[in-house]
A and B are shown apart, each in its own frame.
Chain A
Amino acid sequence: MSEITVYERPKTWTPDVSSHYCPGCGHGIAHRLVCESIDELGIQNDTIGLAPVGCAAMIYDYIETDFCEAPHGRAPAVATGIKTVRPDKIVFTYQGDGDLASIGMGEIVHAANRGMNLTVIFINNAIYGMTGGQMAPTTLIGQKATTCPLGRDVAVSGYPIRVSEMLATLPAPGYITRVTLSQPKYIIKAKQAIKKAFQNQMEGKGFSLVEVLSTCPTNWGLRPVEAFQWLMDEMVPYYPLGTFKDFE
C-alpha cells in the first residue's frame, strides 16, 4: 500500500506566506490557478506579471515570478512595453474590474485591438473591493454598494459593462472567455481556460483574456458560501459563462 499526493501547494506560490485576502475571497483561488498553470507549463522563470491596483496589488508577494506594478488600470500598457522589448518572456496582467473596466478601459481596449501577444486575467466581482465597496462599472442593476446605497440605478449610472462581449467584437483579440469560481467543477474549467490563455501566448497566437467571475464576501455582506451562491443566482444570468472568441 503506497500513497500518492493528489494535491499540494503549487511551487510558484510563495512558500510560508499567508495572503492578506479576506476569508473566502476568490482572489486566492484565482492566484492558485495562475500558479498551477505556470507550474504545469514550466514557465516560472520566464514569466513577468503585471500587478494591478486593488486588492490584488500585492500579488507579487504570493506568486513567485517576476512582477512589475502598474499604475491604476495601466497594466496592459506596461505589459505592451515589456512584451515589445522582451518577446521571449511570458507576460500576463492580473486585473480587477475597478482596474480594468473603469480607469483602465482605454488601455485594455487598445491592447486587445492591437492583438498584443499577452495574457489578461480579469477578475470580475461587481464591486470595488479594496477601497471599500463602491459601485464598479460591472455592479449589477439594483445591486447595493456604498456609493449606490439604494441599488444601482440605470438612469443615473448606466448599465453594467460586459467586458468580454465588448472585446469580442474587435477583430484582433484571439481568445476571450468567461469562467467562474463558484463550484469545484467551474474552478477546474477556469483552470483550463487560464492555462490555455498562457499556452496561446507561448505559441505566439495573440491576445487572450479570461474573465473570472469572483466574489467579494466582505463588501457584498455575505458569508463566503452564500456569496458564491449569490454569484450563481445573480451574476451568471447577466454575465453568461462561455467562450466568445477562439483562435480556431
Chain B
Amino acid sequence: MAKGRITVLEQYCKSCGLCVAACPKKVLRISERTNAKGYRPVEQFTEGCIGCAMCAVSCPDAAIQVFKEQE
C-alpha cells in the first residue's frame, strides 16, 4: 500500500470533522490545541495514511494538503 502524508494548514481548519469521517484509514482526529480562530485543528495521530486525499476532497476550507510517496 502506498504511503502518504498530509499537511494541515491549521490557520484555515474549523474542526468540522468532515475529514475525520471521510478518512478510510481513520488516522485523523481533532487535536487538543487551538488555532488563531479558536477552533481545534485536525491532526494525523497515527501511521497508516495512504494518500487517497478523501480528507482533502471533503474539506470545505481547503485546509489539507496531501502527498504520496512514489518509487
Chain A interface size, under 10 / 10 to 19 / 20 to 34 / 35 or more: 20 to 34
Q: How many residues of B contact A (CB 8 A)?
A: 32
Contact B60 A7 (CB under 8 A): no
Mask for B2-46, Cβ within 8 A of A = 1, else 0? Answer: 001000010110111110011000000000000001010000000
Q: Is A29 an interface position by the 8 A CB rule? A: yes
In the complex, A155→B22 CA distance in Å? 40
Report Cα–Cα, A228/B18, bound state, in Å: 9
Measured CA separation A225–B57 after assembly (Å): 15
CB of A150 within 8 Å of the partner chain: no
Q: How far is the CB of A223 from chain B (nearest CB, A)?
A: 7
Q: Is A23 interfacial (CB-CB < 8 Å)?
A: yes
Main secondary structure of the interface of B (DSSP, over half): loop
Contact between chains at B60 and A184 (CB < 8 Å): no
Chain A facing B: main interface SS: mixed
Tell me if A54 counts as interface (CB < 8 A to partner B). Answer: no
Q: When chains A and B are docked, how far (Å) is the Cα of A5 from the Cα of B57?
A: 14
Chain B residues with CB under 8 Å of A32's CB are: 59-60, 62
Q: Tell whether, in the assembled complex, residue A225 and residue B65 are in contact, meaning their CB atoms are under 8 Å apart.
A: no
Q: Are B60 and A29 in contact (CB under 8 A)?
A: yes
Question: Which of A8, A183, A217, A224 is the one whose CB lies under 8 Å from B65?
Answer: A8
Q: Mark B56-71, 1 if CB is under 8 A from A, else 0.
A: 1111111011111111
Q: What is the minimal beta-carbon distance from B25 to any residue of chain A, in angstroms?
A: 13
* A224-B18 contact in complex given A21-B60, A24-B60, A27-B60, C-beta closer than 8 Å: yes
Residue A77 is within 8 A (CB to CB) of chain B in the complex: no
**B54 A5 Cβ-Cβ under 8 A:** no
Inter-chain contacts of A24 with B (CB < 8 A): 14, 16-18, 60
* B-chain residues with CB within 8 Å of residue A25 when the two chains form the complex: 60
Cβ–Cβ contact A183 & B39, under 8 A:
no
The 8 closest A-B pairs by CB, nearest first: A28-B60, A24-B16, A23-B14, A7-B56, A23-B16, A6-B66, A7-B66, A224-B16
Jot down 21 A-B pairs with beta carbons below 8 A, ordered by A.
A1-B69, A2-B70, A5-B66, A6-B56, A6-B67, A8-B65, A18-B11, A18-B12, A18-B37, A19-B60, A19-B61, A23-B15, A24-B14, A26-B60, A27-B60, A28-B59, A184-B58, A217-B16, A223-B17, A224-B16, A224-B17
A residues sitting closer than 8 Å to B (CB atoms) are 1-10, 13, 18-19, 21-29, 32, 35, 183-184, 187-188, 217, 223-225, 228
